Structure 1
């Protein structure tokens, strides 16, 4: 019987997940908010469905009815996760064939730990409103998994980069900046490893919470310096964080400082293809895929 993956919100991560699942023999559909983006999905082998996170159309309902796997990548917003809002039909009724579900969350749910290590058992302390919303959505999905005896995996993603979205391209475009904030570190994750980890969890029928992140949290300015070296371009000057011009969202990211462990996923048997930014940037440069 053909396995079918529905991706709710087929953006940067969703497309990468679709690519990996398609390679494993799945048929793939994915939602997007606009008809213009729908055609781009079709060229990637993803059957497009226009969905704005509100009313479920007959087309989407029919696809849900046939889905064996689902990945939810739509941000919850103030009204919560679109599939668990008031008045929504029960998920078990919408997707009766479902064997596994994945919810894409963020390591932002941990909040600030002043550079200390966190893992899946760390008590959550979300700071931003968007992270508070993510925790609520995570709980909806995990509760649904328990109530339905279905493996539901929450994938907490670190900072996402990959082909077309990376420090090499920022260097070429002149937008790379070395913001310096004392002792600040971030984790990252290559988008293809998001796809591979989702398939790993699905094929092994694994639910629960999983950190999807590289091996090496580090200062963001080091990534820029490595990209400059690979591109044979001058390293951008240091900019003190305190005086940098940043959007409120960008500044909020720097308000959280932690090292996120991926030990649980590796202990389960997953092997990262891109375990650190140096190896990953080198591959992007050598393959020429860094432009996207």
Structure 2
């Protein structure tokens, strides 16, 4: 069994750690407050934004699942650049099989509803995407084999913001704007699947994957479906201006590369995931 280090044990990190522990792996979790960790994760209480504390001698896999505390450049720099630098430095004498870095599909700048895959160009359109791309480059250019997973909009237990907006009558949607999402259970499933695939044949694991479900969907269709399921009034539709269209994500993301590895979605469409939450 493998020894796994999870940097950033929030919701996804704890779910992943618990799943891997149940499969027999030894799991360590870096967190500033380790009292919040489940029992099956051995806590390492340290701050990623400072020189890293002592790590276990044997580490096979690393999952970096850190998010910024605030929407500010300094917070994004800490979360996606400084923390990565510090951890990679601390791991330089370890023989890590693969470093998995959690990124976002926001690094894609396409905004005309076009299809996007891992080969599509990224674009720095603000400090947040600039810092994400910096973090990706640190991982991919490291001596440690690295894989970047760019997730779409994550929803699931504890992530019901859209449902709440629709239920409270506070939601409005932009016409002709595509959206892409993924259930948190599938985020964890993808992490586990790629680690197990790496154990079998490391060469089969690519350097970048898009993590979304099987069904890109116009935002208004999702909102209307939610309103119907919740038995609330229809959501207000708005025609986006050129400025709002450029500011909002509007692309169709392909998960073909991920599915080609053999991964099957627990929640392949938004209906599958949201109906359970409702």
TM above 0.5, one fold? yes
- Quick one: distance in 1 between partners of 2:165 and 2:105? 26
Measured after TM superposition, the shift of residue 104 of structure 1 is 0.3
In the TM superposition, what is the alpha-carbon distance from 1:236 to its structure 2 partner? Answer: 5.0
Using the TM superposition, name which of 49-58 and 177-186 deviates more. 49-58
Partner-residue secondary structure (3-state), 2:102: strand
Gaps spanning 5+ residues in structure 1: where?
A: 244-250, 286-292
1:288 maps to which residue? none
Paired residues for 1:192-203 under 5 Å: 192-203=185-196
Count of aligned residue pairs for this structure pair: 261
Question: Please, which of 59, 72, 90 is the counterpart of residue 67 of structure 1?
Answer: 59
> Does 1:268 pair with 2:261?
yes
Q: Pairwise CA RMSD of aligned residues? A: 2.8
Q: 1:267 to 1:242 in 2, by over 3 A?
A: closer
Q: 1:42 aligns with which of 38, 44, 65?
A: 38
Give the Å deviation of 1:10.
1.4
Match of 2:46 among 47, 51, 76: 51
Task: Normalising by structure 1, report the TM-score.
Answer: 0.79
Alignment equivalent of 1:113, drawn from 90, 103, 111: 111
Matches within 5 A, 1:107-146: 107-144=105-142
1:182 CA displacement: 2.5
Output the CA distance in 1 between the equivalents of 2:121 and 2:108.
7
- Please name the residue that 2:71 is paired with: none
Contact 1:177–1:238 (CA under 8 A) maintained in structure 2 = no
Residue 276 (structure 1) shift: 0.6
| Equivalent in the alignment of 1:246 | none
Matches within 5 A, 1:230-241: 230-231=229-230, 233-238=231-236, 240=238
1:82 maps to 2:83:
yes
Cα deviation, residue 41, structure 1: 1.5
Q: Taking structure 1 as reference, are residues 19 and 253 closer, same or farther at Cα in structure 2, changes over 3 Å only?
A: farther
* Alignment check: 8 A CA contact 1:70 1:98 kept: yes
Partners in 2 of 1:201 and 1:8 — Cα distance?
Answer: 17
**TM-score, with normalisation over the residues of structure 2?**
0.82
Matched residues in 1 for 2:265 and 2:38: separation?
A: 28
